[in-house]
Chain A
Amino acid sequence: MQGVGPAICLGNDIDTDIIIAGRYLRTKDRSVWAEHAFEDLDPTLAGRLGGAVIVAGRNMGCGSSREQAVVALREAGVVGVVAPSFARIFFRNAVNVGLPVIEAPVSCTDGAHVAFDLDAGWVEVDGERHPARPLSEKMVAILRAGGLVPYWRSCR
């Protein structure tokens, strides 16, 4: 699993309420989540997510288990999320919807060129390479299938 894109930098402890607010949860329309992602943090951010790599600080995705948070990012076209540490439900949810998550201690400047290779286990920011923490075999298989739903279908 590889990906490239310009960096969008976020701070520490980004919670899932900030990624997608509770008031937008009552729908099955995924485009609504993508459209309103990060609305309370920066209303212009949703429009810039397509093709970008999110580089967050520590404890990315803490708080509520709402899967709408990772779906919002995937639907908005986020290529991957890099952070030195993730909240565990967010991390597992991301894998389950096929959104690459890369645990690595990188520093970030907006627009930096980010590239990652999950199989090889590295992430590069403006050419500087950092090792990424390896995923379990099961997680790699789910991610490679494109998420838990396609993984499930392929395993039956």
Chain B
Amino acid sequence: MSTLSERILGAPAGAYVDREVDIAFAHDGTGVLAREALREMGVERLPHPERLRLIFDHIVPANTGTTATLQAELRGYARSSGIALSDAGGGICHQVMSEGVVRPGMVVVGADSHTCTLGAFGAFATGMGATDTAAVWASGATWFRVPETIAVNLSGRLSCAAEPKDVALAYVAKLGMEGATYRALEFAGDGAAGLSMDGRLTLSNMAVETGAKAGIFYADAATVRYLAEYGLAASPQMPEDCRYERTVEIDLSDIVPLVAVPHRVDTVREAEEVAGTHLDQVFVGTCTNGRYEDLARFARIVRGRKVAVRTLVVPASRTVLTRAIATGVLADIVDAGCMVAPPGCGPCLGAHAGVLGEGEVCLSTANRNFRNRMGVGGEIYLSSVATAAVSALAGVIAVPEGV
């Protein structure tokens, strides 16, 4: 009886396997390095360009001449090698891959640590470095150590003030920043079945913050329905009675709004405890919480009111943006006084478009609050979208209630 990772990789935990990869992608940052590695390796022709993707998301549109030139070279390489390119404005790599590309049972690697996001589909998805990715592009395969699995058993239902992001912060706090190093997390239980795909993507996204290699959900009826909207057929995956290294229990009905405080993602407090903390910026977006459900929730709270602090909203993809325009969600956000930036990573990695100044404090819906990540001397608190919304209105950290 196998865990889902063992089943997909075809070997028991601890074994080393060489495995064909179904999809391998890189972004504008790591793609440049992968291209360099391919040049040094002397690889001219890629055997399976149809399995590869380049997605421009980290610094879009380009902020300097150097960035623009690197992106132009990579764009040219995509064209000449036959790799499908999602150019600037298309969205964050993990989000683009979640919009009708990744399916249950696939092996997916990406040159970005949050590739684990795609485990939400019942795929084995993991991040790797650029040179590793180059070798996958050159050969179509790579080696894996099949991970042991920690089960995260979700029971109960979320209260209306809490959201999947709070659950993610809760399990990261429980496991700690290296609590699952080299392991896969498997999210299971009735509580998992009750989560939307957007919510599952948020949970899978933060698996790497515990050191995990993957964060996996079993594909079920919700997965099948979601993929059908993109014209993809899929079947549910049935859990087997397998051996987990350990099981972490989370009762969703116990979850209250949480905040990770500077500078560690596993230092988590109840939002209540840090309420009133001064803010200079609120940032809603990223591969953790920039999806349509997130924007809609944010808009519902700020509609007809005005934010009291500089607030930046960055849709995770063009699809998200288009939908937010069509439903009026975007107008509500703009009318409330927020800035909206083009789909992509925004200031998440501290390279452009909304970085913090010395001593500035930001409440962000992202996944990382490392020291200096969003700008030297800045402080980052991480929260759910609802907490970000009520805090944007208040100008200080506030607690959502029954929103």
- Which residues on A are within 8 Å of B, measured CB to CB? 13, 15, 17-18, 21-23, 25-28, 40, 58-59, 62-68, 70, 85-89, 92-93, 96-97, 136, 138, 147-149, 152-153, 156
Contacts and interface: CB of A to CB of B under 8 A. Distances in A.
Contact of A40 (B30, B41, B371): B371
Given A25-B349, A86-B181, A152-B135, 13 more contacts: A17-B350, A17-B373, A21-B372, A21-B376, A23-B350, A26-B70, A58-B178, A63-B370, A64-B113, A64-B349, A65-B129, A67-B131, A97-B131
B351 A23 contact: yes
A22 B355 CA distance: 11
Interface stretch (B32-40, B160-168, B218-226, B333-341): B32-40
Nearest to B143: A138
B368 A26 contact: no
Interface in B36-59: 36-37, 40-42, 59
A27 to B, nearest CB: 6
Q: How large is the interface on B (under 10, 10 to 19, 20 to 34, 35 or more residues)?
A: 35 or more
Interface string B53-72: 00000010000101100100
B30 A22 contact: no
A148 B64 contact: no
A17 B16 CA distance: 30
Contacts of A156: 42
Contacts of B211: 59, 62, 87-88
A67 B370 contact: no
Given A26-B351, A138-B16, A138-B143, A59 B181 contact: yes
A147 B372 contact: no
Contacts of B145: 136
B181 A87 contact: yes
A136 B17 CA distance: 11
B131 A147 contact: yes
Contacts of A153: 41-42
11 contacts: A13-B177, A17-B350, A22-B349, A23-B351, A25-B351, A87-B181, A88-B182, A89-B128, A92-B129, A97-B131, A148-B131
A10 B177 CA distance: 17
A93 B132 contact: yes
A40 B371 CA distance: 9
B112 A40 contact: no
B120 interface: no
A26 B373 contact: no
Contact of A27 (B66, B112, B138, B213): B66
Interface string B119-148: 000000001111110110010000101000
A13 B129 contact: no
A96 B349 contact: no
A67 B33 contact: yes
A17 B370 contact: yes
B82 to A, nearest CB: 21
A97 B111 CA distance: 15
B372 A18 contact: yes
Contacts of A85: 178, 181
B91 interface: no
A96 B64 contact: no
Interface string B379-394: 0000000000000000
A152 B143 CA distance: 14
A97 B77 CA distance: 23
Nearest to B59: A26
Given A22-B350, A87-B181, A153-B42, A92 B29 contact: no
B36 A136 contact: no
B264 interface: yes
Given A88-B211, A89-B127, A149 B41 contact: yes
Interface in B244-296: 264
B338 to A, nearest CB: 24
B132 A92 contact: yes
